[in-house]
Amino acid sequence: MKEQEKAEIKRLSDLLDALNRKEPMLLESGDAEKLGALLKEKEALVKEIERLRDVRDQKLSKEAQKLQKLPFSRAITKKEQANMGALKKSVRGLVVVHPMTALGKEMGLEEMTGFAPKAF
């Protein structure tokens, strides 16, 4: 689902770029009817792109809220990062969030952080 939304946003953005490239040619030709249709189509694309981005942000927010509700969280040390597989096996329900991911940026993380139902 997430990839579909991303692909749809990209497709609509590409269409918008194509319309933006057509606009100067229509302005030069002076075809008001085609220009009006182009501007309406651009406006519709911009609205749809914004709507899809809002949907994506809401989903991220739900995921962030779910992680914030977990009772325990702390930064993951470099040593633990080196052996992430063993850490995840030893801590049931551990979710690790990297600060450079969309979720990490949204949550304002400074370092790799683990969220779990129990202390680890």
Residues 9 and 52 sit within 8 Å (Cβ to Cβ): yes
User: Which residue ranges of the chain lie beneath pLDDT 70?
Assistant: 1-2
pLDDT value for 1: 55
pLDDT value for 17: 92
Residues 103 and 65 sit within 8 Å (Cβ to Cβ): no
CA distances from 25 to 42, 44, 45, 63, 114 (A): 15, 20, 20, 45, 53
pLDDT value for 44: 92
Domains 1-63 and 70-119 share a fold: no
pTM for this model (two decimals) = 0.55
CB count in 10 Å sphere of residue 26: 18
pLDDT value for 78: 93
Domain locations along the chain = 1-63, 70-119
Looking at domain 1-63, its CATH architecture is Irregular (4.10)
Q: Does domain 70-119 have CATH number 3.30.460.80?
A: no
